[in-house]
Amino acid sequence: MVRFDASESLTPFRDEGDGYGSILSDAALARQVEPGWFDPGFWGERARSVDSGGRGGAWFVDGPFGAAVLRHYLRGGLAARLSRDMHLWRGSARVRSFVEFRLTRDLHREGLPVPEPLASRYVRHGVLYRAAILVRRLHDVRSFADRTAVAAGDAPWQETGRLIARFHRAGLDHADLNAHNILFDAAGEGWLIDLDRGRRRLPETGWRSRNLARLERSLLKLRGARPAEAVRADFARLRAAYDARWAKGY
């Protein structure tokens, strides 16, 4: 059961296509939030496609809440052949956008470097639903993937290892820990984004190792002309910094 939080607001609505849904938002936005906020067409020229990562379904938007990122929840693999954006309804507590909103909010409150969540939405049609989320945009950031592609030797390998260890200590099992979902700002501060399907768990070896292995595979896939051995050597620097931070217990 999802615990009640007085800082959030749930606003039901009906859409023009005979669907119905709800918007989960920060209570401070409750009187402003509109279903149209989650449609890039609503913003017109103020919606700009996010190309980083190549996944599609994300836009930079500017609204009354300031600069934000709008992301639709898309499906991949064989499931995408049936529908790119429809998901099986299993109850509002398991809506992907709501789960990510609450997880991101809790981490943000604890002072962990994640984008501030603003609002999330689902629209249900029978046993299927679509979902979207709005999070505050991070400015002057570059992905770890970009940093390793431009200057691999000078990329923040050790900083990334310490960043991941910090999140793992907080129990975050990131479902898609790849080089595109790790960002660094102009001051060298790191951030984790895209917590879809992530969850809090007791920190133990198995899932932590799987997170790190997924990141290493991502870096090997993105290595371009670099030898795999060079990437693994750099990743060993990341892992050493991770282990050192983990050993400190915080």
Catalytic residues: 176
Cα Rg of the chain, angstroms: 19
Nearest CA to 101 out of 89, 112, 117 is that of: 117
d(C-alpha 73, C-alpha 158), whole Å: 31
User: 73 with 135: CB under 8 angstroms?
Assistant: no
Beta strands in 34-96 (DSSP E): 48-49, 58-63, 66-72, 87-88
* Encoded tokens for 106: 């809790």
User: 199 with 162: CB under 8 angstroms?
Assistant: no
Burial 123-135 (b: 16+ CB within 10 A, else e): bbeeeebbbbbbb
d(C-alpha 183, C-alpha 237), whole Å: 18
* Encoded tokens for 197: 């399907």
User: 27 with 11: CB under 8 angstroms?
Assistant: no
Q: What share of the chain is helix, strand, coil (3-state, %, to 5)?
A: 40, 25, 35
Beta strands in 177-241 (DSSP E): 182-185, 190-192, 199-200
